[in-house]
Every structure is written in C-alpha cells, then in structure tokens.
Copies of this chain bind each other. A is one copy, B any other.
Amino acid sequence: MEKDTNFSEWYNDIVEKAGLSDKRYPIKGMNVWTPYGWKIMRITDAFIRNELDATGHDEVCFPLLIPETEFKKEKEHIKGFDSEVYWVTHAGLNELDVRLVVRPTSETAMYPMFSLWVRSHTDLPLKIYQIVNTFRYETKQTRPFIRVREIHFFESHTCHATEDEAQRQVDEDIVILKKIMEMLCIPYTLLVRTEWDKFPGAYYTVGIDTAMPNGRMLQIGSIHHYRTNFSVPYEITYEDADGAHKNVHQTTYGMSERLVGAMIGVHGDDKGLILPPPVAPFQAVIIPIPAKGNASVVAAAAEKIKDALEKAGIRVKLDDRDERPGSKFFDWEIKGVPLRLELGMRDIDNNVVTFVRRDNGEKGTVSLDDLAPGVTIILESIRKSMYEKAWAKQKECAVNIDSLDNVPERTLRFGWCGSEECGHKFEDENDLKLLGVPYIPEEFSGKCIICGKPAKAAYASRSI
C-alpha cells in the first residue's frame, strides 16, 4: 500500500483493511458503517455536540421526509437540488397525493416550523442543530466517506434579528470549527465560494477545505449566511421591540462524514491509518511480550496496566490473543491506534512499560509509578504534533502561480479580478475548480491570471 504513488487505491484499501466501512451493500454509494468506523464517527459527533451545546445550540431531530410543496418554496434551492434528491412516491399500496423528498439538507423541513416558533424578538436568536443522515443521488464515482449517497452529517440552523447578528454567528461558527479541528488534527482553509458555486439560496457560502495528499482540496463542510433569502418565502418573521414585523436573518453550518475521510487521507501512511488520540476508539493498545515461563506474570501486569489506564479515562485495549506480538503490531498499525504499549519481563523488572508512537515511530518507556499521567502527556504530544505536521502539509500544498502553463497537481493560489467571466474561463479552459477567495483576507499584489487587471488572491485545485 503506497500512499504517495497511488492515493486513491491506498485510500480504498485502508478503509477496507481497517474495518471502517463495508461497501458491498447492494446499493452503490450506500455503505455500511462497521463497528470501528462508526465508533470514530460517533466520537467525532460527540466533540461536535459538545461545542454546539456550549455555544447555546439546542439539539433537535426533524423528520426525514419533506413534502414537495414545502421543498419548492425557495426557487434557487429547489433548482440546486432538483437533480439529486430521492423521491418517495408510494406508501403501502397507495400512490401519495403529495410526493415526499428524502432530506438532502433540512432547510425546507425546518423553516415551516421556524415560522411557527419565532414570534417575537425575545425568541431570537434561535440556534438549533441535528446530527442525522442525509441523501443525495450522486452520479459521479462514489468513494467511502468522501462521495456517498447516504451522508452522515450535522447541520446547525440559526435565526437572528439582523444581518449583523447573523454575521457574528458565522464568526462564532469559525471559532467552533477551530476547536473541533484541534481534536481531529485536520487543517483547513476558509474560502468564500464563487457566486455560481455557493449553496443554492445562500447570500454567501464559506467552504471549509482540507488539502488531500493528491494535491486536491476536499470540502469537509461549509457555513452559509442566508440573509432573508429563506425567511421571506417561508415567512419567518418576528415582532421587534418597536412593534414592527421583520424577517429573520439566517445562517447554517454543517460538516459531514468527510471529516473521517479527511482524517484517513491527511494522517495515514503506508502501514495504515493514524488516528488522532482524541477520536481513536482505542487510544492505546497493550501488547504483552511473554517469554518462556513468565507468561502469567506478564499477563497479570498487563491487566493491571489496563485497569489503571481505564480508570484514568483512557480508551485502552489489551490484546491478549494467542498470536505473535509482531502480527498484533501489524493489526493495530493498520487500525491507527496512536500508542502501542509493549510489556515484557524486562519492562516489569525495570518498573516501566515500553511505548511506541504510531505517528512517528518514536520509542521510549513510561514509569509504572506514573503511568496514567505519563500516557496522557504522550497522547497530547501526539495530538499536537499530528496537528502541526498536518498544518505544515496544508500550507506546503498551496503554490502561487502566475501563469497557466504546466499547472502542478497542487492547490493553486493566483490572482483573480473577481469577474464571473474570468472565473468561468479559468475553470473551463483548465479543468480546474475555482474554490473561491479567502474568508480572512490575504495580502496579494499580483494581477488577474486571466485578464491581467488588479486582482485578489483566489484558490483552485482539480475537482476531488
């Protein structure tokens, strides 16, 4: 399995060998979350939930099915989704009077309720989220976690009295993002999408992009400011302190199971997955190394280590299978367990356990007197160094270009005057995707790569 020479094959291979997902389900692009993969997703969800709860969002769960009549209320939105939704047309033996859309995203499910829930300025802000699966009839080639037809994701939806307050929500979302990404060790670039690529119905869209090893950018989530684009057709209004009735300003924020795809792609190596300690189902695996005559002593000591780490809240696995240690090393390397703890008679005599870091292969010992704090420090050090290394790669991936000759397979930074004409020309003639302009403005002195006029920095890459 060589990650650098054939990323795509390596990726599929890892997903299968690490037991993350089974794509043999009889519908293409709808995969089974097997236990190890689902555990990673659920731990990731828990981080998201924590951050959203801590910022005053309430968790809800809206129905999956949306009546066509509600779905069609916002014109741009339905145009954007028309070709990629699943339709329920029959129930039991009857044809339905009104067809039902299987949720591709929940604006049109939620907003009719928001119009009932929001009455007065004292009801604002309304901040809710849900963690559910969503459905897109994907026609391109599917790939586990990255392009699937049933997508696990979170979506937060907010209503505010003014455009400014909605704007502040966008900025809060970016703070939340930072905290989540520190746990998952995934770097990101925030790019305001082009007008023709923004979310259908949005005022503007901020894409959250991560560089994959093949030089392409993977969108792992997005934040949208809707202004009143949905609150007008869905009649979500509030009575202001002065008695005036106004439409709310709305935002949404979402990230999907692509987070798992990004973790695989950003961190893995030729030996398999490398999981960031905060999301690893097992943060450490203990492997007894018995020799003749001492197997029971080693086994008992390994149990003690397991208990001590579990008590300290560390997710630990004791691998006491009747296999060679080398074969156990191999298995847990594929599964990306951040820390391996090897315990042999010499370790016991020295009152230590030997550790090997999955991220960089570094080896050392931890005193048994200081076991749980010692392991905690190493795990945090792994997290930090994985995040830093990933950020360095993200930055390194982007190259400045001022000509379209011999464009490298990387993320491209270049000048764009901002006109749709130049944007389309750039994309169409070079088979590239214009990802947008930085949400946090960057200094830039170059000219538009198409027309030569004054320009801002923009980013592009091949489509994922």
Complex: chain B residue closest to A30, CB-CB: B63
Set of chain B residues within 8 Å of A10, measured between Cβ atoms: none
Bound Cα distance A89, B137 (Å): 12
A residues contacting the other copy or chain, number (CB 8 A): 51
Which residues 35-79 in A have Cβ within 8 Å of B in the complex?
35, 38-39, 41-42, 58-65, 67, 69-70
This chain: how many copies in the complex? 2
Question: Nearest Cβ distance between residue A84 and chain B, in whole angstroms?
Answer: 5
CB <8 Å contact, B61 and A22: no
Set of chain B residues within 8 Å of A102, measured between Cβ atoms: 64, 88, 102
Which residues 75-93 in A have Cβ within 8 Å of B in the complex?
82-93
Bound Cα distance A83, B92 (Å): 4
Bound Cα distance A26, B152 (Å): 24
Bound Cα distance A152, B61 (Å): 10
CB <8 Å contact, B93 and A32: no
CB <8 Å contact, A27 and B90: no
A128 at the interface (CB under 8 A from B): yes
CB <8 Å contact, A32 and B62: yes
CB <8 Å contact, B60 and A34: yes
Bound Cα distance A150, B100 (Å): 13
CB <8 Å contact, A42 and B59: yes
CB <8 Å contact, A70 and B38: no
Which one of B32, B84, B152 contacts A92 once the chains associate, using CB atoms below 8 Å?
B84
Q: Scan A110-154; emit 1 where CB is below 8 A from any B CB, else 0.
A: 001100100000000000100001010101000000000010100
Bound Cα distance A93, B85 (Å): 9
Complex: chain B residue closest to A36, CB-CB: B58
A105 at the interface (CB under 8 A from B): no
A24-B113, A90-B87, A91-B86 given; A64·B137 CB < 8 A:
no
Complex: chain B residue closest to A102, CB-CB: B88
Bound Cα distance A34, B128 (Å): 10
Could you list which residues of chain A lie within 8 angstroms of chain B, going by C-beta atoms?
A: 22, 24-27, 30-35, 38-39, 41-42, 58-65, 67, 69-70, 82-93, 100, 102, 109, 112-113, 116, 128, 133, 135, 137, 139, 150, 152
CB <8 Å contact, B26 and A70: yes
Bound Cα distance A34, B32 (Å): 29
Complex: chain B residue closest to A94, CB-CB: B137
Set of chain B residues within 8 Å of A41, measured between Cβ atoms: 61
CB <8 Å contact, B137 and A92: yes
Bound Cα distance A30, B91 (Å): 14
Complex: chain B residue closest to A85, CB-CB: B92
Set of chain B residues within 8 Å of A109, measured between Cβ atoms: 25
Set of chain B residues within 8 Å of A61, measured between Cβ atoms: 32-33, 38, 41, 133, 152
Which of A84, A90, A92, A100 is the most central at the interface, judged by chain B CB atoms within 10 Å of its CB? A92
Question: Nearest Cβ distance between residue A377 and chain B, in whole angstroms?
Answer: 25
19 more A-B contacts (CB under 8 A) besides A39-B59, A86-B88, A86-B91?
A22-B116, A25-B62, A25-B63, A25-B112, A26-B67, A27-B67, A27-B100, A30-B63, A32-B60, A35-B128, A38-B61, A65-B150, A83-B92, A83-B93, A85-B92, A86-B90, A87-B89, A88-B89, A92-B137
